[in-house]
Structure 1
Amino acid sequence: MSEAVPAALRPYVAWLAAYDVVGPAGVHRGLPGTSLTFVLPIGAKLDVAWSGDPVSRRSAWSSVAGLHAAPAEIRHDGHQEGFFLALTTAGARALFGLPAAAIAGELLELDDLAPDLRHLPEQVHDESSWPARTAVLLRALTSALSARDASGARAEVGRALARLARGAAVAEVADDVGYSRRHLRNLVVAETGLSPKEYQRVARFETSREHVLAAARRGGTLAEVAAVCGYADQAHLAREWRDLAGCPPTTWLREEFPDVQAGGVFAG
């Protein structure tokens, strides 16, 4: 269930959801996107690792994943409960006091990033209702925001990221913000940890996830999704999903939305 984000936090928290899911034990895929992922599990520690990298595996009461271009794996016993937050790149500066680039490709805990928030998991655990837990979480984030310098990257970098996410060509974006392509690349890497092309690739994949789900629900095709999202063809879409999600779109749907796939797979 999604939760309302207070106005003061909206530039920094793109999405906040409380989750309580019961089902078969297994592995949940944490897919790449343009937001940092902040998870506060309840009831059991989060068992998370980058796909194919057992060295990165950790079990913790908090998890912050920087921007990445590979899937994460979250192992669970069938009951998943806690809070999921999608943080903007500005949110890394505002809530943790560092640019998103500083933790790109990393899996960290609050102890690593924000010692003043290290007691947040137990504070959330101490509450028995979701409204009370949400209130504790939002109060802690608002306090962290006021304790740090919330000044973000240059306005033109934010504008460039927004245009890249919408699919504008890198050269066009560089002209728009008045920088050379090299200078724009340096600024985007310094802010996000990804090059403009990498950021754009992840953004397009993120958009394709929404279209894949919508197409499955209405009986559309992957070829249609590829065309709408700017992929050369369905094969290009499939390659990007294998690289960034570690599976085809149909596998992701079957794992995450089994009811949607109950009637069959994509036609065409």
Structure 2
Amino acid sequence: MSTGSREFVRATPRPGPIVSAVGYRTQGVPPTVHRGLPSPYLTLIFTLDGPVVSGDTPEQATGPDALRHDIVVGGLHRSPAFIAQPGHEAGIQLAVHPLAARALLGVPASALGGELVTGGTDVLGSRAGHVRERIAELSGWSERFACLAGYLLRDVDHAFAGVR
């Protein structure tokens, strides 16, 4: 009996003020519900092959009212986010320090506190959707990380120019 395959690739070096960047791909694994625990960091996910399906409860995450986003921004939260994980998925997940939120995402971390999960294009704009499509077309993790870092860090030097 096959247990499927899981691949996790960490970006090195990390791009700028991002705490961690991990590419992931799973295939042929049993579907499950992941419990995303609170973290001291914001979560940013760009999917490569299908939306992240989530909810405030396991039932919502697996039901007709589940939230579906190709790009996810997860704010700081005190309760778990439930993610329905299919038998195959791929994407890049970033952990972003809350103090870097304004420079990277265009909004302070406090603006992301109302919902466990927010659609990334609602926060980042439609260009983020084009970047997601581009990284999905690329074949290697290094190229994907570089493309995503180029997009996310485009305005960071300017944003931190007056910070000492």
TM-score per shorter chain, which class?
Answer: 0.7 to 0.9
Paired residue for 2:103, among 90, 94, 97?
94
- Residue in 2 aligned with 1:30? 36
- Could you tell which deviates more after superposition, 122-131 or 50-59? 50-59
- 1:93–1:151 Cα contact (<8 Å) kept: no
The answer (yes or no) to whether the contact 2:33–2:58 under 8 Å persists in 1 is no
- Scaled by the length of structure 1, what TM-score is found? 0.51
1:39 pairs with one of 29, 40, 45 = 45
Alignment of 1:113 onto 2:123: yes
Structure 2 counterparts to residues 43-122 of structure 1, below 5 A = 43-51=49-57, 54=60, 57-106=66-115, 107-115=117-125, 116-122=127-133
The TM-score normalised by the length of structure 2 is 0.80
Structure 1: gaps spanning 5 or more residues: 156-268
Q: CA deviation at 1:99?
A: 1.2
Instruction: Specify the code of the residue in structure 2 equivalent to 1:13.
Output: I
**2:30 aligned with 1:19, yes or no?**
no
How many Å separate the matches in 2 of 1:105 and 1:67?
9
Aligned counterpart, 1:149: 159
Judge conservation of contact 1:5–1:13 (CA < 8 Å) in 2. Answer: no
Where is the helix percentage greater, Structure 1 or Structure 2?
1
**Cα 1:52–1:150 shift into 2, 3 Å:** farther
User: Which has the larger Rg?
Assistant: 1
Q: Percent same amino acid at aligned positions?
A: 28
Q: 1:152 to 1:80 in 2, by over 3 A?
A: farther
Structure 2 unaligned runs (5+)? 1-8
Compare relative contact order (CA 8 Å, sep 6+) and give the higher one, 1 or 2: 2
Question: 1:16 deviation in Å?
Answer: 0.6
Partner of 2:12: 4
How many residue pairs get aligned? The number is 150
